[in-house]
A and B are shown apart, each in its own frame.
Chain A
């Protein structure tokens, strides 16, 4: 009777346990506790939330390990942290710290313009962003145990998250009606391994857990993403850039559980204070958009 650790089963198993939950960006122990009190199923430890990364500019890197450890000490729920796309040494460092999940994230400045991290090399699970089914399946082929839409982080504008979720989920629906020979051509067209395309068609969903991220700012946004068919929601700047973070965080948690019940959604949406001001993606020059990072 021997224990086996670091298998894909235990990696994707943690993602399964996060489903129906809200993962919140936090920058210190106090925010982490507010998130845990509000019912977050995990927190993302960061030095700066995406809205600040956007406004301050410069190279965005993995957070100071001291910051991450402080947050790990503050809460009992899983702690995630971000590494730059392709920066496998930042990932080795986070694994050594004992973080529960790594986000190989386009929100940080990419370290490699051709290669993502070979995530099979790690015992810690990875979540990666995607804009469409091809990207999602390429990340899964590289070992990602969880997928999220990229959306457009730090904007408070949900339009890109909706676009990406509709693209992924719409393509899966299309896939289910395809003849086998069409599926080969489709795999080639989207640049994804045929075996994963076939598996997705058979399952009628992505082979791993699929969350929404990038622009979710209100309980209604969160419920919208759930009704579109994602398994849970990341909220980045939307909580701690708002007028009353504790209240908004709790309301978004309730909205994700009761996403099909408009009466509860109406109740939890009342009196939340100012939402984050936000910035429309449409008004943003192409160069400022970050969803295009990664491929």
Chain B
């Protein structure tokens, strides 16, 4: 299994480190040709305007859209914003989005940096992938100037929400989005969850049924 991490800007090294801890072949993606041969892609945290600008400048927007049609993609924080079909509070003049998740995100929903926080987040969806040695119970989630999902379409599964109802983790088919940064937490379960999505999609494509990624149970 080979997974790419978009390395235009942001915390891509942390994702690569986590993937390698899971024994996955992980590579940096900066140009369209770097997507060749990948089974999945992570779009990391960073500044979504910076990543969107660089993706547009180096001809990555269409290749990334085609990629997420066919193969699993996970966006964390800025990555979640880029994967949303619609975003609120964009920079003046808007910003290029890749889309794919039928959601509306609100950028910097929680406020500025002084409002950034840590919280223990109940994530029952992770129980299916937990391995020996993983922490039990809630996922210790780190939110940095984070977005939140304010509307979800009918095909979107909500994986986690805060007590006030703000949606912070979603999945739609083989696309995963988290408003927080599992790459900064000392917990591999979200990375396991994504690699399970990728191996599910690989199995499906071997069986000739693309685009119907599922989680092994």
Contact = CB atoms under 8 A, between A and B. Distances in A.
A275 interface: no
Given A76-B91, A77-B49, A20 B9 contact: yes
B197 interface: no
B118 A1 contact: no
Interface residues of B, number: 48
B163 interface: yes
A3 B113 contact: no
B114 A39 contact: no
A261 to B, nearest CB: 8
Contact of A3 (B12, B57, B89, B119): B119
B112 interface: yes
B110 to A, nearest CB: 9
Q: Is the interface of B mostly helix, strand, loop or mixed?
A: loop
Contact of A13 (B50, B57, B121, B142): B142
Interface string B12-39: 1110000000000000001000000000
Contact of A254 (B54, B78, B163): B54
Contacts of B90: 76
Interface string A37-79: 1111110000000000000000000000000000000111110
Contacts of B112: 98-100
A10 B10 contact: no
Interface string B154-188: 00000000110000000000000000010010000
B73 to A, nearest CB: 19
Given A3-B119, A19-B13, A38-B53, A10 B47 contact: no
Interface in B76-119: 77-78, 89-93, 107-108, 111-119
A7 B54 CA distance: 31
Contacts of B114: 5-6, 95, 98, 100, 123-124
B200 interface: no
A123 B112 CA distance: 11
A76 B158 CA distance: 27
A271 B162 CA distance: 50
A7 B14 CA distance: 19
Contacts of A196: none
B185 to A, nearest CB: 9
A151 B13 CA distance: 26
B8 interface: yes
Contacts of A95: 114
Contact of B50 (A1, A7, A39, A98): A39
A13 B181 contact: yes
Interface of B: 7-14, 30, 45-47, 49-50, 53-54, 57-58, 77-78, 89-93, 107-108, 111-122, 138, 142-145, 162-163, 181, 184
26 contacts: A4-B117, A4-B119, A5-B114, A9-B184, A10-B143, A13-B142, A14-B116, A16-B10, A16-B14, A17-B144, A20-B9, A20-B46, A37-B93, A38-B53, A40-B50, A41-B50, A76-B90, A76-B108, A95-B114, A98-B114, A101-B113, A123-B114, A250-B53, A254-B54, A254-B58, A257-B9
